[in-house]
């Protein structure tokens, strides 16, 4: 049971609430892997279209460094800001309402887009299966709407989310990847992979590798969620880096396995634009049972991820309503089901609208960019955080080492990824930037007067240096 315990701050005058410290590195590791699992089934392969198979692998490793910095910084801030809520709460406390509004919006958009991407995958997967069994021309849109509407209804009802079926979903998805790997890998025989024939030089040179950075983020998007455990680990200084890095290494290995299977079975030109690369790889193996396994694995992973996305996006939107960053109407809770039902219902048509475009790579780009904007501002946030509350002035569960190196590396890699996005999706990049700038202007001129400024800062910290 996670009961509360007290932790006294440096001067003894300030106290913060910390949850019982019961988690070890293994828990943190499991958390990270569970969150990002769906990324193995779809999305990562768009990096192959940019930089070829090798370019994709390099992007996977370089972006691993970006996420290492994110994890280090996020671990420190999350283990210090006792109020849960991730980057949104951090921005509210460290920078102020405008930053919190933007970060809240990034989170909502990133999750809503990911939800749309998951629904698109479900629709495309069912269409592909229908095609295979002689029902060509099946429209995926009804399945997209059904998936989003059904999951929104589950979230609206609240209590039904407690289905133990979700355990089966994740376990099944992990098993599917492992089985596929062992079926095609050259273990005890020649195997089915044709890397010698399919792997090529970098098709667009090193600029292609740079462009692949954008989709390289898909390998890890969301792993910073592990840092939310910072407060509850037995030794944050040990468990968070160990668990998060262990999780990243696992994903790196899983991603490399996925890359290894897919690039050994599919030519890079096809792999780079496939919607469901692992399922397509299983089809090429020619064993129906493997195909069914990957079909169910992909379907389960996408549905489970979409369910989590609706939950997160609606709660971030709800928090913004409660803080008056959005109309307070969204801050309502259903009288019977105790869920933020207005936020859930409001975001549902937005997810459907994006899914209806049918452009999975564009939708994923929007999701990635929203996440990337959040990471970029983390490098500024941590600098300000360290300056305003220096080490020793408040209790930190974990202090990340080598400051300010991680924030500088993070900023440089984020900038490189923006450039990468500009190369392939310049219009998307400019439109989403314009959207956030317009939203910020709207917030400053139209919403800020409604914000209850006294309610914003809820932490019992001493006044920041220079206040």
Residue 233: strand pairing partners: 23
Per rule CB under 8 A, is residue 162 in the interface with other proteins? Answer: yes
Residue 266 CB neighbour total at 10 angstroms: 22
- Find the binder of other proteins among 45, 118, 170, 376 (CB under 8 A): 170
Options 162-170, 198-206, 240-248, 350-358: segment touching other proteins (CB under 8 A): 162-170
> At closest approach, how far in Å is the CB of 149 from other proteins?
18
> At closest approach, how far in Å is the CB of 257 from other proteins?
21
Nearer to other proteins, 135 or 195 (CB): 135
* Cα 421 from chain centroid (whole Å): 17
φ/ψ bin of 325: left (φ > 0), alpha (ψ from -120 to 50), beta (otherwise): alpha
* Angle (nearest 5°) at CA 147 between 144 and 150: 140
- Find the binder of other proteins among 139, 163, 390, 450 (CB under 8 A): 163
> At closest approach, how far in Å is the CB of 460 from other proteins?
4
Per rule CB under 8 A, is residue 171 in the interface with other proteins? Answer: no
Q: How far apart are CA 352 and CA 14, in angstroms?
A: 47
For 65, the token pair is 């460094």
> At closest approach, how far in Å is the CB of 359 from other proteins?
27
Site string for other proteins, 114-153 (x = CB under 8 A): -------------------x--------------------
Say how many residues touch other proteins, by CB under 8 A: 69
Per rule CB under 8 A, is residue 397 in the interface with other proteins? Answer: no
Segment 259 to 318, residues that bind other proteins, using CB under 8 A: 304, 307-308, 311-312, 315-316, 318
Q: How far apart are CA 436 and CA 99, in angstroms?
A: 11
Query: Which H or E element spans position 252?
Result: helix 236-265
Nearer to other proteins, 108 or 274 (CB): 108
Query: Which H or E element spans position 5?
Result: strand 4-8
> At closest approach, how far in Å is the CB of 312 from other proteins?
7
Which residue in the block uniquely carries the two structure tokens 């919607």?
275
- Find the binder of other proteins among 136, 137, 164, 466 (CB under 8 A): 164
Per rule CB under 8 A, is residue 17 in the interface with other proteins? Answer: yes
Residue 157 CB neighbour total at 10 angstroms: 15
Nearer to other proteins, 152 or 274 (CB): 152
Q: How far apart are CA 363 and CA 116, in angstroms?
A: 7
Q: Is 163 in a helix, a strand, or coil?
A: coil
Site string for other proteins, 327-346 (x = CB under 8 A): ----xxx--xxxxx------
Nearer to other proteins, 86 or 406 (CB): 86
Residue 189 CB neighbour total at 10 angstroms: 7
> At closest approach, how far in Å is the CB of 177 from other proteins?
17
Nearer to other proteins, 58 or 373 (CB): 373
Nearer to other proteins, 3 or 427 (CB): 3
Residues, the chain, total?
467
Contact 320, 104 (CB under 8 A): yes
For 407, the token pair is 């924030």
> At closest approach, how far in Å is the CB of 386 from other proteins?
22
Burial class (CB in 10 A: 0-12, 13-18, 19+), 415: exposed
* Angle (nearest 5°) at CA 292 between 291 and 294: 65
Sorted by sequence, the CB contacts under 8 Å of residue 206 that are 6+ apart come out as none
Site string for other proteins, 218-237 (x = CB under 8 A): -------x--xx--x-----
Q: What are the C-alpha distances in Å from 393 to residues 141, 262, 400, 401?
A: 55, 51, 16, 17
Q: How far apart are CA 182 and CA 232, in angstroms?
A: 37
Per rule CB under 8 A, is residue 13 in the interface with other proteins? Answer: yes
Segment 23 to 82, residues that bind other proteins, using CB under 8 A: 23, 27, 30-31, 34-35, 82
- What residues make contact with other proteins under the rule CB under 8 A? 1-6, 13-17, 19, 23, 27, 30-31, 34-35, 82-86, 88-89, 107, 133, 157-167, 169-170, 225, 228-229, 232, 304, 307-308, 311-312, 315-316, 318-319, 322-323, 331-333, 336-340, 454-456, 458-460
């Amino acid at each position: 049971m996670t009961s509360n315990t007290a932790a006294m701050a440096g001067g003894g005058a300030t106290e913060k609430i910390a949850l019982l410290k019961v988690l070890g590195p293994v828990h943190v590791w499991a958390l990270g892997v569970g969150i990002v699992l769906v990324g193995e089934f779809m999305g990562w392969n768009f990096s192959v279209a940019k930089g070829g198979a090798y370019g994709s692998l390099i992007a996977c490793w370089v972006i691993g460094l970006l996420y290492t910095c994110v994890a280090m910084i996020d671990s420190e801030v999350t283990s210090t800001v006792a109020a849960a809520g991730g980057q949104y709460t951090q921005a509210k406390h460290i920078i102020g309402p405008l930053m919190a509004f933007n970060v809240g919006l990034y989170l909502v958009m990133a999750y809503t887009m990911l939800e749309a991407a998951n629904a698109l995958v479900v629709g495309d997967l069912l269409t592909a299966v229908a095609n295979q069994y002689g029902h060509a021309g099946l429209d995926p849109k009804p399945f997209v709407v059904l998936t989003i509407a059904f999951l929104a209804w589950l979230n609206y009802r609240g209590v039904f989310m407690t289905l133990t079926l979700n355990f089966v979903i994740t376990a099944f998805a992990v098993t599917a990847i492992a089985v596929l790997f062992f079926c095609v890998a050259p273990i005890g025989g020649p195997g089915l992979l044709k890397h010698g024939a399919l792997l090529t030089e970098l098709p667009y040179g090193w600029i292609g590798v740079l462009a692949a950075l954008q989709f390289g983020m898909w390998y890890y998007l969301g792993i910073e969620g592990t840092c939310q455990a910072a407060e509850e680990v037995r030794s944050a200084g040990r468990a968070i880096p160990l668990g998060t890095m262990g999780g990243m290494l696992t994903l790196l290995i899983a991603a490399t396995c996925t890359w290894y299977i897919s690039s050994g079975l599919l030519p890079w030109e096809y792999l780079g634009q496939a919607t469901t690369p692992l399922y397509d790889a299983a089809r090429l193996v020619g064993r129906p049972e493997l195909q069914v396994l990957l079909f169910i694995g992909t379907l389960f992973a996408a549905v489970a991820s979409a369910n989590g996305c609706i939950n997160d996006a609606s709660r971030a939107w709800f928090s913004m309503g409660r803080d008056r960053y959005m109309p307070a109407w969204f801050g309502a809770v259903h009288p019977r089901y105790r869920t933020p039902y207005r936020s859930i219902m409001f975001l549902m048509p937005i997810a459907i609208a994006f899914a209806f475009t049918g452009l999975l790579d564009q939708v994923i780009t929007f999701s990635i960019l929203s996440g990337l904007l959040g990471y970029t501002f983390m490098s500024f946030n941590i600098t300000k955080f360290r300056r305003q509350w220096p080490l020793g002035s408040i209790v930190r569960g974990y202090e990340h080492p080598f400051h300010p190196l991680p924030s500088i590396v993070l900023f440089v890699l984020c900038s490189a990824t923006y450039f990468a996005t500009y190369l392939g999706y310049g219009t998307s990049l400019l439109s989403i930037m314009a959207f956030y700038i317009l939203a910020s202007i709207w917030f400053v001129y139209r919403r800020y007067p409604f914000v209850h400024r006294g309610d914003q800062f809820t932490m019992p910290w001493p006044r920041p240096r220079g206040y």
